[in-house]
């Protein structure tokens, strides 16, 4: 499953050996499969060596693909006529979701046909099926969803995890999030020595919950061997800071922070719009300032950073936003392609394995003091 994925030569539909293949769940998004196929086509125009396996109703997908020239010869279609709805309960989908496009898309990663899966469907169901079909990596207790967060003072992103795979995390989970986030920063953002911060209600060492104080010690102790820099506790206002690359938190807190930031950005966009619509003069100013406002709106456009990545499984899954349009899907597919190209799944597995061995050695070597090594 972890071998580099190539399309068998006999499948003339998808193209030559050596392509990086992305498995795409075309269903379940608010805008339907047309937006998903259009997003794949946008990205296919800009790269060589990509192939897609699209999952959904065969006739509809064939019609959509045939209209997109950049996709010609790059897509294989896997028929499924069932879709996981946005309100489906994960437990129900685990029992009854077998013939859905989401299940089928994840199975393409499971059986080695594709390197990474992309879906804009129901997050809870996607995580549940991913856990069941791909299984957790050896040494990982709790998988996590990592998101990209626009950085404050330059064009770039920070990574935050977990933003909602689970609602809790103990100190060992938080350490694993630090290790997985570091690996994502290396392979997804090309950072040699990522800086890791732990989200808390203050930066002083005595603040916060007990598990955060323990995690603070564990992550600090793991930094030298893990080749990352640990900067200690950070606060909510530091999430977009340029002084940190990877922000570690539990899935409850991460989800609240992410949605609060989205709500705030949306609110300010609305305020800005109404400020410029208020008077004739301000409307003229808005016309003149069109390019500037456009530049701003690009920087805070959530579509540019679309793609939560599920970490800690045998295979990588990119969760695209439920409301993603073609541009949003393009961003998610680009992220999936970059991670597949860097052989991210294999690297993160190796990283977690070596940390687990180091931890076990430390426990063996210093029996009384093992858990904080």
Give the footprint of its own copies on this chain (CB under 8 A).
Answer: 87, 89, 150, 152-153, 164, 167-168, 199, 201, 204, 206-209, 235-240, 251-253, 255-268, 270-272, 275-276, 278-279, 281-282, 284-286, 288-289, 291-293, 295-296, 299-300
The count of C-alpha atoms lying within 13 angstroms of the C-alpha of 14, restricted to the half-sphere facing its C-beta, is 26
CA torsion angle 108 109 111 112 (round to 10): 110
Residue number, 56 or 164, with CB nearest to its own copies: 164
Chain-centre distance for alpha carbon 15: 27
Residue number, 285 or 358, with CB nearest to its own copies: 285
Residue number, 256 or 362, with CB nearest to its own copies: 256
Contact between 279 and 188 under an 8 Å Cβ cutoff? The reply is no
- Neighbouring-strand partners of residue 311: 144
Residue number, 47 or 289, with CB nearest to its own copies: 289
- Neighbouring-strand partners of residue 77: 54
Alpha-carbon gap, residue 205 to 198, rounded angstroms: 11
Least distance in angstroms from the C-beta of 249 to its own copies: 8
Least distance in angstroms from the C-beta of 42 to its own copies: 25
- Residue 101 Cα distances to 61, 78, 122, 135, 322, angstroms: 12, 8, 12, 19, 15
The count of C-alpha atoms lying within 13 angstroms of the C-alpha of 315, restricted to the half-sphere facing its C-beta, is 29
Q: What residue spans of 97-170 are helical by DSSP H?
A: 101-110, 123-134
CA-based max dimension of the chain: 75
Residue number, 44 or 258, with CB nearest to its own copies: 258
Residue number, 189 or 261, with CB nearest to its own copies: 261
Least distance in angstroms from the C-beta of 107 to its own copies: 27
- Neighbouring-strand partners of residue 79: 56
Residue number, 161 or 352, with CB nearest to its own copies: 161
Least distance in angstroms from the C-beta of 87 to its own copies: 8
Residue number, 193 or 283, with CB nearest to its own copies: 283
Residue number, 97 or 139, with CB nearest to its own copies: 97
Contact between 325 and 303 under an 8 Å Cβ cutoff? The reply is yes
Contact between 157 and 143 under an 8 Å Cβ cutoff? The reply is no
Alpha-carbon gap, residue 347 to 180, rounded angstroms: 10
Least distance in angstroms from the C-beta of 20 to its own copies: 33
Least distance in angstroms from the C-beta of 192 to its own copies: 26
- Neighbouring-strand partners of residue 195: 229
Estimate the crossing angle of helix 171-188 against helix 344-365, to 10 degrees.
140
Least distance in angstroms from the C-beta of 333 to its own copies: 25
Per the listing, tokens 């040699």 go with 192
Residue number, 136 or 252, with CB nearest to its own copies: 252
Least distance in angstroms from the C-beta of 151 to its own copies: 9
Contact between 197 and 247 under an 8 Å Cβ cutoff? The reply is yes
At a CB cut-off of 8 Å and minimum separation 6, what does 289 contact?
276
Least distance in angstroms from the C-beta of 13 to its own copies: 39
Least distance in angstroms from the C-beta of 260 to its own copies: 4
Specify burial of residue 294 (Cβ count, 10 A radius: 0-12, 13-18, 19+).
exposed
């Amino acid at each position: 499953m972890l071998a580099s994925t190539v399309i068998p030569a006999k499948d003339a539909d998808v193209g030559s050996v050596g392509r990086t293949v992305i498995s795409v769940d075309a269903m379940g998004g608010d805008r339907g499969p047309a937006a998903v196929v259009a997003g794949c086509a946008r990205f296919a125009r800009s790269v060589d060596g990509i192939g897609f396996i699209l999952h959904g109703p065969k006739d509809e997908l064939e019609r959509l693909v045939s209209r997109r020239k950049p996709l010609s010869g790059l897509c294989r279609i896997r028929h499924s006529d069932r879709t996981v709805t946005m309100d489906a309960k994960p437990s129900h989908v685990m029992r009854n979701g077998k013939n859905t496009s989401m299940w089928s898309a994840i199975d393409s990663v499971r059986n080695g046909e594709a390197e990474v899966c992309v879906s804009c469907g129901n997050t809870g169901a996607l995580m549940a099926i991913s856990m069941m079909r791909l299984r957790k990596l050896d040494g990982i207790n709790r998988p996590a969803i990592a998101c990209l967060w626009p950085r404050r003072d330059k064009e770039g992103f920070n990574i935050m995890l977990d933003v909602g795979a689970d609602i809790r995390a103990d100190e060992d989970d938080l350490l694993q999030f630090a290790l997985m986030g570091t690996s994502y920063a290396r392979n997804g953002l090309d950072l040699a020595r990522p800086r890791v911060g732990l989200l808390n209600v203050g930066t002083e060492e005595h603040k916060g919950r007990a598990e955060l104080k323990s995690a603070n010690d564990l992550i600090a102790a793991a930094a030298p061997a893990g080749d990352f820099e640990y900067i200690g506790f950070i606060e909510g206002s530091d999430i977009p800071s340029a002084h940190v690359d990877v922000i570690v938190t539990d899935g409850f807190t991460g989800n609240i922070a992410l949605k609060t930031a989205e709500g705030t950005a949306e609110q300010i966009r609305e305020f800005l719009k109404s400020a410029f619509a208020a008077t004739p003069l301000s409307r003229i100013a808005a016309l003149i300032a069109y390019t500037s406002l456009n530049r701003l709106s690009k920087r805070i456009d959530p579509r540019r950073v679309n793609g939560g990545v599920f970490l800690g499984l045998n295979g990588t899954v990119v969760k695209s936003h439920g409301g993603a349009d073609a541009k949003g899907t393009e961003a998610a597919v680009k992220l999936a392609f970059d991670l597949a190209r860097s052989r991210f799944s294999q690297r993160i597995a190796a990283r977690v394995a070596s940390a687990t061995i180091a931890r076990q050695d430390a426990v063996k070597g210093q029996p009384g003091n093992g858990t904080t090594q």
